[in-house]
Structure 1
């Protein structure tokens, strides 16, 4: 058996999340069906991070096992020929059997792209979040400092989260502005269910002037989701990449694809190095 890794991009608004469902309208379902056409047998894909309905990915990593002898190009061009337009395989690579897309990952990175203008988006609807009123960028930047490091993120954890522990190591948390778009960047060793959307919701609470920057530190201390602002919309959330140990031999330049915060094309590459 060979273990094959795929790097995948998809528009989450076209699917009901990653994880396979009986109705078949998920990213995993359409990918498994497409890979089956090339492999000639049933496959099960294991991904680095299961995304929710409406959440996008510029670099999702998944693996599957097969006894079919195919050139690596077949797992890209061949699979893409059987996929809907909203999902595409970027590259494939064979790895050792000790690689696992989820459990071998050292870090994951997300970006939330928020359009900050009085009028809601039309062309970018579903691809960016939106907030109509001005936001205090400096206050949100100051608030980000509190969540860097190892913390109990229970305040930002969905009630349905099944993780064994709410403790995560946050490597990167920052907010920037480009034109009328804000971009919220997070990288951590792992994320809880709805964690990024809950972090964005809390930071917007600060940006709107409804709380001081210390609000984030207080939420961490209280460790109570009921005291936190509502979960923000999924529209502008992108899984941008996964970092793995170099020993697995995956292309470093292919492990990160960050959408810039611009009005127009939020999927144009900004960086190819993993933080």
Structure 2
């Protein structure tokens, strides 16, 4: 009886010791955070089968053996950035730009088992960079850096190529998005573009000024022709026509009745009463 009690007491003590070690973090355990899964790689010292546990730890805390390796896998969409320096465009201009790819792991156990923890670096990065280079070099500097008209086309081309590659390689990930940032040409090219834009604006200003002058000249010529036709139609001399125009202007100024008129000498009638 005493032996049984001693055995039970020893078991309880061992259990409490394990719980204490577990709670204090001394004993290894798996406890993934939100959005993560923990893949377990068992490495028994003497007995038992090793290898990757087919069931990942998705929530809570799981007590592990000392030899068990833990690999946390982020199951949320992840963003990876590739930077390109002095990459030549189709017209030979070196460009600096960033390309971003967003991926999401679909099967944590399979990706660790087949491709390892560095699955992006070892299996995706080189292909992504190569696809970016192939797509960008098809376009000129103006399309990529100035007007950005080619950005959507590059995004689409790279996205389709990466989806095909991921499927053929059997990588358990989902392509969320590919984004190409605006390219930056060298400072010399930027300065040249500014100078060219300034010159073009100066030319445009001169053209607009000349157009306004031509329009004003045409209006004045049209008015002169109309005045000449009116003078001829009314049978007025040049002196009479000038006097008539003066009277029109005078009437506009003195409509309020606040003008005093002083005349000197005889005036030539501007209306031919004989007609």
TM bucket, shorter chain? under 0.3
The normalised TM-score by structure 2 is 0.22
Which of the pair is proportionally richer in helix?
A: 2
The normalised TM-score by structure 1 is 0.22
* Max Rg structure: 2
Q: Which has the higher contact order (CA 8 A, sep 6+)?
A: 1
